[in-house]
């Protein structure tokens, strides 16, 4: 308790700091930038990224990130927030990040570095040259660990000596829990596809869910940087295994079935999970692939755009990649997260929640609604809604005909 009383409160500690953020175009990076700008109105954020498709760095940030629906709240509350962002042309695989000397000098007052995605070796070398650096926090994939038990202390040989480094190991990122809005999601990825019932997949229903809402992952990053800085010199990096939502895959699917009735994802699918590769293949063939083929065939005859099979393949690819998560048995120690949560004040625990006792069904309902709004092709929705009862009626007619015979 005495140590806790000596620690500067988190929001006060961030104060007027200058922060370097890499990987801003990733899911985590986008959410992290929004939270930093909104919760700490006096900070300045430096970004390193590449120009792309004719957009220079700051143009890319403004058009692809800052003007997205996820930044609506920030733009309403702080219309000039983008003025506190500086973007530099660079590349994480180059020495000194490939930035110009004058850009390097412009970062002289950076005290916090967040690495949200991408290669990190050159970044860590760059960080060791920052004269006022207090802490570096980088993301790591919790599910890439080979051990059945994920421990919290690991020596990283590539870390420069004396670098105040925190490593946040993250499971699969899911839709937002609360911020910037409940259920917010921009892209259909594995965790979201499972939650909204986009298709049948292979996995063990009894295993705990390995999904973290993206805003809780962001909060973990922010709190970890504060914690590492307050610890002083570290002999080895601090490792934080981020908390997940508390339920099994089977429970998640059952609750998703109730939550998504008003927000169905527009594919021919049967919601569920099995450990059998053969059963999964049969169900996908009969109830997903075949109806999609028939639907596109009828659309082709009517000279309409054929995109149902393409959507089926896209969803199936997403779910296939995600099956390694639903089949992996993992025991994870999270004591560092619980200790970190205990250091926060009551107000900070609310604003920077690190693990939540959430209503899973309400969370999935918000995610399904956001997926329909931001990730669904309306034409697909209308087509599938029309063809589903038609194909079911045709199926029963054919079965009835052969039964009568």
**pLDDT tens readout for residues 19-40:** 999 999 999 999 999 999 999 9
Enter the DSSP assignment of 71.
G
Three-class secondary structure of residue 368 per DSSP = helix
79's tokens: 């219309």
- pLDDT band per the 50, 70, 90 thresholds, residue 383: low
Enter the DSSP assignment of 248.
B
* Lowest-pLDDT range of 240-249, 317-326, 375-384: 375-384
150, pLDDT greater than 70: no
- pLDDT band per the 50, 70, 90 thresholds, residue 356: confident
Model pLDDT, residue 38: 95
Residue in 364, 344, 362, 365 with CA at minimum distance from that of residue 353? 344
Model pLDDT, residue 299: 75
Cβ atoms 134, 128 nearer than 8 A: no
Rounded alpha-carbon distances, angstroms, from residue 278 to 158, 262, 271, 294: 43, 31, 16, 23
pLDDT: which is higher, 113 or 316: 113
* Lowest-pLDDT range of 85-94, 200-209, 377-386: 377-386
Model pLDDT, residue 398: 60
Arithmetic mean of pLDDT, 194-211: 89
* Lowest-pLDDT range of 164-178, 238-252, 297-311: 297-311
Burial letters 294-309, b for 16+ CB under 10 A, else e? bbbebbeeeeeebbbb
160, pLDDT greater than 80: no
Model pLDDT, residue 174: 93
Model pLDDT, residue 297: 80
Model pLDDT, residue 260: 76
* Lowest-pLDDT range of 34-38, 48-52, 256-260: 256-260
Strand segments, DSSP code E, in 251-291 are 272-274
- pLDDT band per the 50, 70, 90 thresholds, residue 5: very low
For 240, phi then psi, to 5°, come to -120, 110
Model pLDDT, residue 3: 43
Residue in 61, 130, 59 with CA at minimum distance from that of residue 99? 130
- pLDDT band per the 50, 70, 90 thresholds, residue 2: very low
- Written out in words, the top-level CATH class of the domain with range 2-182+211-244+330-356 is alpha beta
Cβ atoms 164, 135 nearer than 8 A: yes
User: What are the pLDDT digits (tens) for 78-97?
Assistant: 999 999 999 999 889 888 88
Arithmetic mean of pLDDT, 263-278: 81
Interatomic CA distance for residues 328 and 337, integer angstroms: 22
Q: What percent of the chain has pLDDT over 70?
A: 87
Arithmetic mean of pLDDT, 171-198: 90
Model pLDDT, residue 65: 92
């Amino acid at each position: 308790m005495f140590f806790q009383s000596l620690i500067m409160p988190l929001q006060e500690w961030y104060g007027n700091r200058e922060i370097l953020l890499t990987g801003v175009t990733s899911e985590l990076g986008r959410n992290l930038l929004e939270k930093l700008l909104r919760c700490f109105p006096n900070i300045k954020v430096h970004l390193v990224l590449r120009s792309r498709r004719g957009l220079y760095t700051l143009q890319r940030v403004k058009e692809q990130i800052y003007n997205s629906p996820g930044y609506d709240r920030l733009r309403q509350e702080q219309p000039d927030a983008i003025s506190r962002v500086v973007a530099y042309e660079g590349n994480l695989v180059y020495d000194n990040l490939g930035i110009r000397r004058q850009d390097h000098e412009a970062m002289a007052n950076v005290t916090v570095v967040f690495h949200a995605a991408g290669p990190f070796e050159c970044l860590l070398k760059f960080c060791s040259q920052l004269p006022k650096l207090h802490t570096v926090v980088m993301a790591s994939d919790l599910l890439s660990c080979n051990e059945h038990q994920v421990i919290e202390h690991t020596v990283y040989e590539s870390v420069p000596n004396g670098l105040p480094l925190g490593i946040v190991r993250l499971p699969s990122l899911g839709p937002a829990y609360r911020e910037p809005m409940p259920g917010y999601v921009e892209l259909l990825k594995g965790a979201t596809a499972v939650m909204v019932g986009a298709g049948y997949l292979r996995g063990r229903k009894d295993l705990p869910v390995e999904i973290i809402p993206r805003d809780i992952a962001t909060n973990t990053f922010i709190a970890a940087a504060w914690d590492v800085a307050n610890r002083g010199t570290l002999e080895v990096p601090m490792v934080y295994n981020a908390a997940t939502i508390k339920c099994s895959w089977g429970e998640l699917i059952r609750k998703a079935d109730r939550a998504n009735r008003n927000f169905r994802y527009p594919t021919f699918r049967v919601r569920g999970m099995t450990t059998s590769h053969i059963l999964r293949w049969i169900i996908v063939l009969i109830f997903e692939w075949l109806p999609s083929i028939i639907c596109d065939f009828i659309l082709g005859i009517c000279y309409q755009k054929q995109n149902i099979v393409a959507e089926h393949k896209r969803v199936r690819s997403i779910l296939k990649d995600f099956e390694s998560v639903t089949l992996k048995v993992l025991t994870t120690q999270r004591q560092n997260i619980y200790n970190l949560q205990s250091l926060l004040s009551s107000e900070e625990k609310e604003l920077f929640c690190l693990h939540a006792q959430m209503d899973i069904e309400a969370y999935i309902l918000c995610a399904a609604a956001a997926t329909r709004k931001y990730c669904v092709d309306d034409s697909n929705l209308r087509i599938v809604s029309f063809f589903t009862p038609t194909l079911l009626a045709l199926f029963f007619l054919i079965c009835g005909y052969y039964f009568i015979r």
